[in-house]
Amino acid sequence: MSVQERKERERASRERLIVATARELAEQQGWDAVTTRRLAERIEYSQPVLYSHFRGKREIIGAVALEGAAEMAVALRAATSAADGPRARVTALARAYLHFAERNPAVYDAMFQLDGGLAFAHEDTPQPLKDAFAALLESLDEVAGDGVHPALFTEVFWAALHGLATLTREGRLPPEDTERRVELLVDRLAKV
């Protein structure tokens, strides 16, 4: 059985290589540059190999999105755990979210802008996505305010952050006032 196990290991390793390469290429040159031909060339296999791992390009994007969601959850928890008090935690959370989006634009696109074929706000939503939302909720439910459902509050807060992240990155909002916008947002939304 050892032969088969080795093959499975190699297959899994190659799958990780595909996802990592797709992500790298997307961060370097944008998702438009991530074509199946270029991706195949970079991993030094032919195109059809990609399709033995994923149904298509969409699923590759989805895989990058899941990886990104896991990382984002870690980053958010790291930022909030280093902060003292609810108010500071929320501010740190917002900054960490926007920072992640800014530093990993391609991953952020995979998660929230592109179609990775993932289910959201659903029972069969993949765990990493649920967990990223949970990471937001953990710091937000203490500032949701009386009589406000924490999940609903988190959705609104998240939407605001998402709007800031995307509009800023696409040049729709001037980047220099980001910090002031974060402060205003936290000031108003969070019930300290």
Residues lying near a copy of itself in the complex (CB under 8 A) are found at 112-113, 119-122, 148, 152-153, 155-156, 158-164, 166-167, 170-174, 177, 180-181, 184-185, 188-189
Q: Which does 124 bind (CB under 5 to 8 A by kind): DNA, a copy of itself, none?
A: none
The SS3 call for residue 85 is: coil
- Footprint (CB under 7 A) of DNA, residues 2-21: 3-4, 7, 11
9 contacts which partner out of a copy of itself, DNA, none, CB within 5 to 8 A by kind? none
Among 22, 34, 69, 90, binds DNA (CB under 7 A): 34
- Say how many residues touch DNA, by CB under 7 A: 19
Q: Do you know the residue count of the chain?
A: 192
The amino acid present at 136, given as its one-letter code, is L
Residue 109 to residue 100: CA distance in whole angstroms: 12
Query: Judged by CB under 7 A, which stretch of 19-27, 47-55, 123-131, 178-186 contacts DNA?
Result: 47-55
Closer residue to a copy of itself, CB minimum distance, 11 or 191: 191
C-beta closer to a copy of itself: residue 78 or 167: 167
Minimum CB–partner distance for residue 15 and a copy of itself (Å) = 26
Task: Measure the CA–CA gap between 158 and 133, rounded to whole angstroms.
Answer: 9
Closest distance to DNA from the beta carbon of 38 (Å)? 6
Environment class of 26 (CB within 10 Å of its CB; exposed 0-12, middle 13-18, buried 19+):
buried
Q: What is the amino acid identity at position 33?
A: A
> Which amino acid would we find at residue 86?
P
Q: Give the integer Cα–Cα distance in Å for 160 and 179.
A: 14
Q: List, in order, residues 6 or more apart from 7 with CB less than 8 Å away.
A: none
Residues near 110 by beta carbon (within 8 Å), at least 6 away in sequence: 23, 26, 31, 61, 62, 64, 65, 68, 116
Q: In this chain, which of 9, 16, 29, 35 binds DNA, going by CB under 7 A?
A: 35
Q: Which is nearer to a copy of itself, 74 or 189 (CB)?
A: 189
7 binds, among a copy of itself, DNA, none (CB under 5 to 8 A by kind): DNA
Q: Which residues bind DNA (CB under 7 A)?
A: 3-4, 7, 11, 34-38, 45-49, 51-52, 56-58
